[in-house]
Copies of this chain bind each other. A is one copy, B any other.
Amino acid sequence: MELHFPSNFLWGSTTAAYQVEGNNYNSDFWAEEHADGSPYKDKSGDTIDHYRLYREDIALMASLGLNTYRFSIEWSRIEPEPGQYSRSAIEHYRDVLETCYQHGITPVVAMHHFSSPKWLMRMGGWASPEVPERFAKYCEVVFREIGHLIPYALTMNEINLPVMLREIFSKIGFIPPVGIERDAWVAPKWRESAAKLCGTTIENYFTFHMISDESSINILKETHQKARQAIKRIQPNTKVGLSMALSDIQSIPGGEELAAQKWHSYFRQYLPMLEGDDFFGLQNYTREVYGPEGQVRPAEGAELTQMGYEFYPKALGNVIRKVSKDLSIPIMITEHGIATDDDSRRVEFIGKALEGLQACLDEGIDVRGYLHWTTFDNFEWQSGYSMKFGLIEVDRSTQERKVKESARYLGSISQLNILVKK
């Protein structure tokens, strides 16, 4: 059976600057990696050298049949010191965008994907009330130069992630959260070292991931809105939104209230932030099930991914349906993926999830695109290079790219605009 998608549907994949570009040593994450006692498993180093190899990489995406590429711009490259902007970095991203167009690829650009300039930590990091103004100014500088080449922009990626991290780590009495390694949390000595590498002290050191208390969330809200205004003032035609990581929150009897609380905390509390947005970036990986005692582990024998998430491709359609109840703007799937060494499971994961997505389209929900996380196996933050989320494998000793079956699968769906249901 053939499932059809709307014409102009965006098919593509996503990367994040810090995870693929390499040598972003002006970023707070670089400091975290190199801090004494860092919980990061690997050094990002050159990652997959995408800052140098983007032309070949974009050509490869196009050759697969994909028509969209979402990437992020590294703030610390555009503004290496406060108020000092790099035209060289802007010219780089101009060429990335122009290369997309040369290959018939629509770019979707995130202005922030977790990493921030080291210098921001010297001013109090994301907890500083200066952030909205500074971030909006950075967006303004970029959009004044290359905004006409950016049809879709995300101000920030996964604006709700800090709150999700807090929920996870509040259990061990450590708020605000700063990472995902339990041992590292309870011994934050490494953060002192990271702060020093940023030229500051721990009192000022607040990365994006730590912004999970109420007043700081207001900073994020103001940041998003000021950035959107700055962008729209210069490029009214650019569609602007943000993205959220959203698991499919489910409940078993007795867990309904807790599930509703989680949904509020992870999604509904952010609704005022979206007022005025042009689209919503939805990012999904799995489901979370709640019972009377809290989150319920996946059933015995459930298939888990490398990240320990339950293999549950139905989650995508479910979440689309849930968010659509509260939204009057189009939805774009800006991330969806699976960490696995067995690429045939990725093929299955994509196919099944797209069935769910197509059902949502049939129900009249306005979904504009599906961007898979991620184009290449890359630097997965604290987990280093161990997580295989990519459609394309990379031999990092030679930087050779090797297309996986899943890339061809997604590419062929994109080219035909049809999913063959098995």
User: A residues touching B (Cβ–Cβ < 8 Å)?
Assistant: 22-23, 25-26, 34, 43, 45-46, 49, 51-52, 77, 80-81, 84, 86-89, 91-92, 196-199, 399
Contact = CB atoms under 8 A, between A and B. Distances in A.
When all copies of this chain in the complex are counted, the total is 2
A399 B46 contact: no
Nearest to A85: B45
B81 A34 contact: yes
Contacts of A91: 49, 52
Nearest to A193: B199
A52 B22 contact: no
A84 B43 contact: yes
Contacts of A198: 199
A22 to B, nearest CB: 5
A91 B25 CA distance: 18
Contacts of A23: 77, 80, 86, 88-89
B399 A81 contact: no
Contacts of A196: 199
A88 B51 contact: yes
11 contacts: A22-B86, A23-B86, A25-B80, A25-B81, A34-B81, A43-B81, A45-B86, A49-B91, A51-B88, A87-B399, A199-B199
A52 B199 CA distance: 28
A49 B88 contact: yes
A98 B165 CA distance: 48
Contact of A52 (B34, B46, B88, B197): B88
A391 B273 CA distance: 55
Nearest to A399: B87
